Every structure is written in C-alpha cells, then in structure tokens.
Chain A
Amino acid sequence: MKDGELVLGNNPVPKERKVKEETTVADIPEQKQSNTLYSKVSNKIKAVEHVGKNYIRTKIQKKTSYPEFDDVNSESWKISVPLIKELKELTVGKQLLIFPIPYNKSIKLKETSDHYMSIFKEFDDQSTKAFDISSALKAKHDYWNDTVFLKICGHFSQKGMELVSNQIGEILKSNYGALPFVSKKQESNKIRVLGISCFYHDSAACIIEDGKIIAAAQEERFTRVKHDKSFPLNSINYCLEESKISINELSSVVYYDYESWTIERVLWNAHSIGNLKDKFWNTAKSSLYKKLFLPKIIRNRTGYDGEIFKCQHHVSHAAGAFYPSPFKEAAILVIDGVGEWACSTIAKGTGSKIEILKQQNYPHSIGLLYSAFTYYTGFKVNSGEYKLMGLAPYGEPKYCDLIKDNLLTISEDGSIQLDMNYFSFQEGDRMVNAKFEKLFDGEARAGESEITKREMDLAASIQKVTEEVVIKMATYAKKLTNCEYLVMSGVVALNCVSNGHLFDNTSFKDIYFQPASGDAGGAVGCALTWYYENFPDSDKNLRQDESALLGPEFSSSEIRAYLNSKDYPFHHLEGDERAKTVASFLSKNQVIGHFDGRMEFGPRALGARSIIANPLATEMQSKLNLKIKYRESFRPFAPIFLEERTSEYFDFDRPSPHMLIVRKVNQKLIKEPLATEDGDDLLKIINQVRSEIPAITHVDNSARLQSVSKSQNKRMHDLLSEFEKISGKGILINTSFNVRGEPIVCTPEDAYRCFMRTEMDILVLGDFYLTKDEQPEFKDVTNWKETFVLD
C-alpha cells in the first residue's frame, strides 16, 4: 500500500520475516547423553520436538510464517482483499475456488497454524470456496524436504509446484469428482549422479546424466558469499531443478573427498608439531566435524535416502579434467594446496578408466608454497593467488635463487621437498615464520597497504619457480604415460601463466584445463568417477563441456517480468539488431554489463556474466579497475575474441575457450612504450600503450586468452563480429560481472544491483538493455563496500 492506494509489486512474498522477540538457542532444554556428538546435538533438538527443529531454525533465523497475514489489518491482507473482491466480480455466475498457496516454510513449520485460512474462509459463500491445501501438505511432511523449493528466492521449485498441483488436484477430485490435470511421473532408466564439494572452499554441486554434465553451479553465486564453503543446498536445488528430478530420483550422491584420510592427516600434523599438538588439534577438529557427519548432513538437508559415496580428492580433480576433455587417452596432472594427503598427482586416463601413478604428499606442496608467498606479499590465501600471478610481470625474478637455495629442493621429476623450518602452515596460524621473514629481510606486507617493487619481485620469483616445477611435473607425466595429450586440474591449473608456458616447454600435442580447476570442479569429477566406475563400458563423452556454461539462465519473459515489476526503463534488442546495437555502444567506449544465457561454472566469466568494454581505448584498464571493479589498479584484463582471429592477435594457434592460458600479444601488434617504466608507480606503468589492443595487453605484453567460436557461443560471436566491423578488431575486454569481493552475479536482480552500484554505462540482460541515465535513483539498502569482504 502506498498512501492508502493499492500498488502491485513484483512479488508479494517477502524474503525475510522478522519476529518481534529475539530468541536464542539458549532456550533449548538439556537432554540425556547419547553416543556420537552428532546424535547428542540431534537428540537435543529432538528433545524439543513439540516445537520442532524447524521452530529452532526459525527462531534462530528470526523468521516466522506469514506475519503479514496476521489479521485483517495486516498489509498483505489489505492487498489481498480488493484482489479477491475484483476476482469475484469478474467471475459472477461461475464457481470461484481459492487455493492459498503456502510459503514453503509454512509447510515445514508443522506446528504453525495457518491463521490466514480463517481470513480466506470469510469469502466462502455459494459461489466461492477457499480450500486449505497447506494442512494436507504438512501431513506429508516426511517426504517434504528442502529440494522442493528454491532457497534462492523461497519459491517452489518445479518439483514443489508439482506437489502443490497434485494436492489441489486431490482436493478437486474429492470435492468435485474431477481431476483437471494428471501429474506425469518422469519414467526413465537414466543414471543420474549428484556430485558435491563443500567444507573447504568454493562449495559446488553438479548433476550428470548418463555421463553427461547437465548442470553445475557454485554455492557462492546463490548465497552471495565469495568462496562460500557451506553445504551447497542452493546449488543442489538448482541442479535438481535443471535436471527436472527430485532428490530420490538420483542413482547416487558422491562427495569429493575422503574425510577419514583428511582426519588422519590432521592427526599426523598435530603430532608432528610437538608441544603445539593440543592447540592445533583443538582448533582443527572443529573444522572436521561437518566432514565426519557429512552423510547425515546430506540426508538431513536434502531428504536423500539412497547410498552415499565418497571419492578421493585428487581423483575427483583428475576425473573432472579427464572425462570432460576431448581426449580418449591423456596424462593427468593434479596440483593443489592439499587434498586429503596428496598435494600433486600424476595419473593416466584411458577411456573410462583413471589410474593413479604418482603422488606427492603433504606438506611438500607447490600450491602451499605459492600460498605462502601470497600471504607474505599481503594477499589472502585461497583467494589472492591470482593477484600474485597478475603482479608477477611487474617484477624481476631476483629471489629465485634465494627460494631454491633455501625453501625447497626440486627434483628432476618435478617432485619437491619443502624445508619446513621456514613455514608455519602446519601450526595453522600463519603461512610463514620468522625465519622466512628473515630470509627475505622483512615482515609480510600488511593487507591493502602500498604494493612496492619488492612485492613485485617476490611475485615474479615465486611465479618463475612454480613454472619450473609444473613444467618438470608435466614432462615427467609425459615420460610416465607416453600420452600425446595432457589434462590438468587442481587450483594450480588456474595459474594461466604457468599453463601458457606448458605449450612451449613440453611435447604434448594439446592440453585441456578444467575450467573449474579449484575445489568446485571436484563436484563434477566425483560424480563422473562414480559413473564410470559403475558403468565402465560407457563411452567417454568427448567435448561434453565444450562450454563451461552449466549454470542457471533466465528466459526473456522472466527478465521482462522482472524489469516490468520494478518499473525499470528498458529497451528491447530484436534479432540481428542486438549485436549491432551493443557493438555500437562498445565502440563509443561505453562499459557494458553483459548478462546472457547460462551462468558460468568456475571462476572465470566467459561472456554470460561479464563486464565488456573496448580494448582499443588506452585508459580503459585503469578506468575499469578504479571506477567499476573497485579493485587494485595493477590487475590486468583479459580479452574475449573471435576464435578465427587467435593467431592474428596472439602467439597462439588453437582455441582457448576457458580463459586459462596466458600468451604474448602478436609481435605485429606491439608498440614501443613512450615513457620509461621505472619505479613503483603502477598506474603510470599500466597506462603505457604497449600494443594496438592496449587495455588487454599486460606489462609483459601478455594476455589471458578467451576465444569464442560460433558453435560455442553464437550470440557472443555475433557481437564480436559486429564490433570488428566497426573497429577493425574482433576483440573485447572481458572481466567478471562483479565488484571486488563480490561473487559473480547470478540473477537479473544481482546484475541490476551491480550495474547501479558502479559506473557501468549500459546493462544488457538477454534481449534487453538498460541505460544508466534512464534509471531511477538507486537507493542501496546496504553499504555494499562493507557487505563484501575484500578478497
């Protein structure tokens, strides 16, 4: 209601439901001791079953069911009354049946009375009847679980709507003897497997069907918490929704890690650090708790009642790289911080089989060594590694010898041994110790403080050492397997600079990098591992993830409905005009938020959730960094370009669809910088014009490549082609659609919010575009710069 008038909005169901009284779990009464900790806590909650566990959840979350329908004076009821009255007038002479559709949490709250029914019942007369479907659904609470609603917005999923529809059908049949529609149970012999990764970092879920990836998404995109490691319920819901199945139609659920091996490694670690054992164990064990009880968590949160499996961490990574790759046989290299024990793995994939050949165990990890330097140079471990990589080209690798003389031994086969006297990650608090700081003559840089030449040189040095190790490992993998192709995964496979060097320094014919090489990709790999182990005669699908576009998409009608509901001015982009219009904006140096099709899986935005801009404009890099991304000015931007122009623009001659390879810009396009590049002033260094495509040319004349073919993404290919017609170059800047610390946008609402918070000029949402100057004043409900923790 606005000024006493009824105003229709998009969605009459608010997301948050505050209760008046603040209640805490301290209200939970004591309960007798039982066996496992899980049971103890679970029984404690069961002890108050008269109010129910969901009551506790509700209290903790400070939500309640439909307070806005509390009485006839409530706002929502005032909105509903004129609507129902008008409907009655429109249906005079006909039977009007009212089925208030309950909010999912209302159903889950068994103990909550549906007080709103009494209000709806007031409309009952000869021609109108209100039916209570909520009570009937509550009676089926046992099979009612979290997978039937979309937690992202609280609305029913397709499965949930089906259940509600069936209930309405039953009521109609019992009252009127008619069943206007019949639920079609999906009968299928397809093997569907859900893969889950969580509780380390970058939680994700994936569903495969007969070995083909149907859907995959990272939890952070839904919760809006960067690198979210929590149980990926939203991602699971999305994957089930995309697969059009409910949880118990799955053949199997697979977790991407052996919790028992991780617990063993943590116990070993505790014993290996002497008198710090108890302190370490007391801290570490709390993080193991969820892992140990993961099967119960899966069952509790999803209602799944089938068998659950687990897959070795590095096997999950290996499978996530090999099975989706275009190769029938390949050497497999997995390198990350640490899985259970393994820090690097060499394996061989042949058809449906993966054989583990060599492993390097904790604590001797090249990934953790890189993270130690990430920490030491003032960036965040497990998120700032790619910044260190971006900083490296500004420096000189002057510390290489110091690193190799003191910190590690590198074998000719690529295996390493760290000198643990310099590191403290085994104790858990810091990555490096005083001896390390003494070696490099200073303490770690404080986060967000000025980046000096020293950090640049440290970055260049550890990058070079890492490349040496990775090349040696890959060379040894070639020797061991005699395969023509290599596939890579594990978070070190996101080091695009190192990846690029592999093409020149190994004899593999081609190399595939899993687009989600971090832990998120483990969700894909563990599901595929289970499938091919149980169905070994299945053909390995080649090129099944030619694109990494495996996430949610929004139809034109959904986007239009969203924009209409918000009264945001927008324009329709029709047919061929779409590419021409957007290319025209780009050529005028306008910065565009580009939201189109299915969301990317993995850390790279590949055009579906991207900010795109003209790379020919000389100051576009610093403009994007400081006015739109609000991030460190030194960080480079990647190009997205027509695949057929690859060798024309870069020293590379094959597709790079996932932005995981760094190569030099073609020498023919290189220009000599006019000013000197000495000193620490990053902005001066960045703003040098180094090539004909300056905004994507890094200080060492390199770029992180993403090629686009027509078959892979026709709409982006069309856009690049139109831009080429105007500018002469089929290439654009492509950076992720977010601001610093924010997960990449998922929904049109996320996109609009990010668009309005930044200095982007145009927002393209599928077949529509919005201009900034036409939008109403944007009033942010929160200070977003405080909402997102800086990464």
Chain B
Amino acid sequence: MQEKEDRSFYVKPPTGSSNTISTKAIEVEDQSKLIDNLLNEFRNSSSDEKKKYRSMLEGWLTATDENILFQEDINKVKDLIYEMF
C-alpha cells in the first residue's frame, strides 16, 4: 500500500446555497412527515437505500415505546427526563 499513491480519496463536497438550514423540517409532529423530511435531507443515499432506511426509521420511531422511562438504569431515565422534557 505504501507505493506513491496519486489517486485521490477526496469526494465532492455537498452543494447548497447555504451552510445553515432551518430545523423546521424535523420539528413536525406527524411521524411519516418527519421521516419523509429526514430522508429528503439525506445526501449520500440512493432511492433503494432510502427505502431500506425508511423501514428502519419507521421501526425506530414507532416501535420504541415508553419503556424508555422504565429501564433499569435509573440514571439513564433521569438523564432523559431531565434533559429532554
């Protein structure tokens, strides 16, 4: 691997008119809209990959239940409640 390597491993940076964007797209209550908006912001994924990711996101955001509040590690619960709500 040590031979002089002229090949570049840099990639094209993301394009866009602005380096900052509003978070409004993820500040939505509707979950399917939230997932649509998230996927819409993805920049390195093909449509096939987005399909696979959608199901994982749906699983994450719907299947996760309030058991997060009842996990054994009380410090994690404290952290979550105190930090987020």
Contact = CB atoms under 8 A, between A and B. Distances in A.
Interface of A: 24-26, 28, 30-31, 35-42, 44-45, 53, 56-57, 60-61, 230-231, 254-255, 258-261, 263-265, 267-268, 270-271, 281, 285, 290, 292-297, 300-301, 307-312, 315, 319, 341-342, 345-346, 354, 356-361, 364, 401, 404-406, 408-413, 415-417, 419, 526, 529-530, 533
A464 B20 CA distance: 36
Interface in B1-57: 1-2, 4-14, 18-24, 26-27, 29-31, 34, 37-38, 41-45, 49, 52-53, 56-57
A415 B13 CA distance: 14
Contacts, number: 177
14 contacts: A40-B65, A254-B20, A255-B23, A260-B26, A264-B41, A268-B45, A310-B21, A310-B23, A312-B14, A360-B10, A404-B2, A405-B1, A409-B9, A415-B10
Interface residues of B, number: 56
B69 A413 contact: no
Contacts of B78: 60-61
A-B residue pairs, 9 tightest by C-beta? A415-B9, A260-B41, A356-B13, A358-B10, A264-B42, A315-B19, A295-B23, A308-B23, A311-B20
A529 B19 contact: yes
Contacts of B14: 312, 356
Contact of B1 (A30, A37, A310, A408): A408
A57 B82 contact: yes
Given A264-B44, A309-B20, A311-B19, A28 B69 contact: yes
Nearest to B38: A260
Nearest to A233: B83
B34 A361 contact: no
A311 to B, nearest CB: 5
Given A60-B78, A310-B20, A533-B18, A36 B41 contact: no
A426 to B, nearest CB: 16
Contacts of A296: 27, 84
A56 B22 CA distance: 32
Contacts of A360: 9-11
A401 B60 CA distance: 44
Contacts of B10: 346, 358-360, 413, 415
Contact of B61 (A37, A41, A315, A405): A37
A35 B22 contact: no
A271 B83 contact: no
Nearest to B43: A261
Given A39-B29, A260-B42, 12 more contacts: A44-B69, A60-B81, A60-B82, A258-B21, A263-B57, A268-B44, A292-B26, A295-B26, A300-B84, A308-B27, A361-B44, A406-B1
Given A263-B38, A292-B26, A404-B2, A41 B20 contact: no
Contacts of B45: 264, 267-268
A259 B38 CA distance: 9
A259 B81 CA distance: 21
A271 B44 contact: no
A676 to B, nearest CB: 34
Interface in B63-78: 64-66, 68-70, 74, 77-78
Given A263-B38, A292-B26, A411-B8, A53 B85 contact: yes
B69 A25 contact: yes
